[in-house]
Amino acid sequence: MSTSRRVLVTGVAAISPLGLDAETTWNALIEGRSGIGPITQFDATAFSSRIAGEVRGFDPEQWLEPKEVRKHDRFTHFAIAAARMAVEDAGLDLERIDRDRAGVIIGSGIGGLHMLEAQHRVLLERGPRRLSPFLIPGMIINMASGQVSIDLGLRGPNSSTVTACATGNHAIGDALRAIQHGDADLVIAGGTEGVVSPLAVGGFCAMKALSTRNDDPERASRPFDRDRDGFVLGEGCGLLVLESEEHARARGARVLCELAGFGMSGDAFHISAPPEDGNGMIRVMRAALTDAGMTPDDIDYVNAHGTSTPVGDVIEARAIRTVFGEHADRMFVSSTKSMTGHLLGAAGGFEAVVTVLALARGIVPPTANLDTLDERIEGGDIALAAERFVPGRAIEAPLGAALSNSFGFGGTNATLVFRRAPAPPSA
């Protein structure tokens, strides 16, 4: 089938360190509030990094029966709750759509680590006969998509991406392709993650990847700032409802924007670091723009990957300068990880929600904690001014199109391009 079908965003949902729904999260973002604090899910005293962007106050029993809660890990709890909120936000009546043509593509970078850790303790302390029969189905990454499909009765494409921190963007890109190619008319897509756990925190500490600003957690995540010292681990979920234009128009859906393009690339360089010249980042942004049939000058806002690592932020800024040239001095760039921490496999899905809402509402969320722009970004071959990064305070601006970056361990890169909702066709 033709790949020319336009794909529209008709609903969003988010669960984050800033709130248990998209609207609460959005309001906190544009106010520049931080959701990062001391870790509460376990005793982190012995860890070099003792802070995280935790989802606080989430009760899975508001969404599932207690016996069902025990069958699934935290990342799946998030996905089920967010999927139901996304359906409501999109105004979908599931009884009135063809469920054979409605799919679910939700990824996770790590998956069911809580269940794995808990059951490993059972194995060591009580033996193999006491392991839960739900260990394997509860921890595997595709269970987020699988359980949402079961919960909502959606029988179309059902798959899961696992590409580290690029996961959410790849899931949304896969959904775009499924609709463009006629495999589905509607897909719920994004990413989910819930691994604020001893093993995950300990592993990232061992890599020396995490901020150790433990005495000042709200200011620990500081993308592009001179004094950043690593990322802050976060958790949550971000989902979009994507529909073909024909399907959305036929049911009279409210349209938030169009998902116009998707790009992928590989660095082929290192397990965790990008090449100094940002070649993979450059190529993925250009690929997404080409896929959208757009030029760099069409973009008004970039939601940066911007994790707050000493190396990665500079390289992304250099790649942005290379791709956008002089236009980079006229557009906005911000990293909302400054307020949520890094949601790993959920980051792309969550930041897609943020980018969609920025376009729909004409507000650019800020980069918090950007006190002094890294001199390597402000000078040299990058030469981007601090105000381009929206330091500290949201900006109202008409946005015609926006780009959202996600880059993952293993050198996997994914970029999405969104643009303002197209006008309905004339009668």
Catalytic residues: 165, 305, 342
Please state, in angstroms and rounded to a whole number, the distance separating the CA atoms of residues 246 and 181. 14
Residue with tokens 């001199």: 375
Question: Could you give phi then psi for residue 78, rounded to 5 degrees?
Answer: -60, -45
- For residues 171 and 197, the answer to whether their CB atoms sit within 8 Å is no
Please state, in angstroms and rounded to a whole number, the distance separating the CA atoms of residues 292 and 145. 27
Please state, in angstroms and rounded to a whole number, the distance separating the CA atoms of residues 416 and 406. 9
Question: Could you give phi then psi for residue 198, rounded to 5 degrees?
Answer: -55, -40
- For residues 255 and 10, the answer to whether their CB atoms sit within 8 Å is yes
- For residues 205 and 46, the answer to whether their CB atoms sit within 8 Å is no
Amino acid at 148: V
Burial class (CB in 10 A: 0-12, 13-18, 19+), 125: exposed
Helix (H/G/I), strand (E/B), else coil: 23:
helix
CA distances from 228 to 140, 208, 221, 356 (A): 34, 13, 7, 27
- For residues 128 and 152, the answer to whether their CB atoms sit within 8 Å is no
Query: Secondary structure of the chain: what % helix, strand, coil (to 5)?
Result: 40, 20, 40
Sheet holding 7-15, edge to edge: 158-159, 102-107, 186-193, 236-244, 7-15, 257-266, 412-420, 401-408, 301-303, 332-334
CB neighbours of 133 closer than 8 A, spacing ≥ 6?
none
The half-sphere exposure of 137 on its side-chain side, counting CA atoms within 13 A, is: 10
- For residues 355 and 288, the answer to whether their CB atoms sit within 8 Å is no
| Cα torsion through 86, 418, 313, 209, rounded to 10 | 30
CA distances from 337 to 82, 146, 163 (A): 19, 28, 18
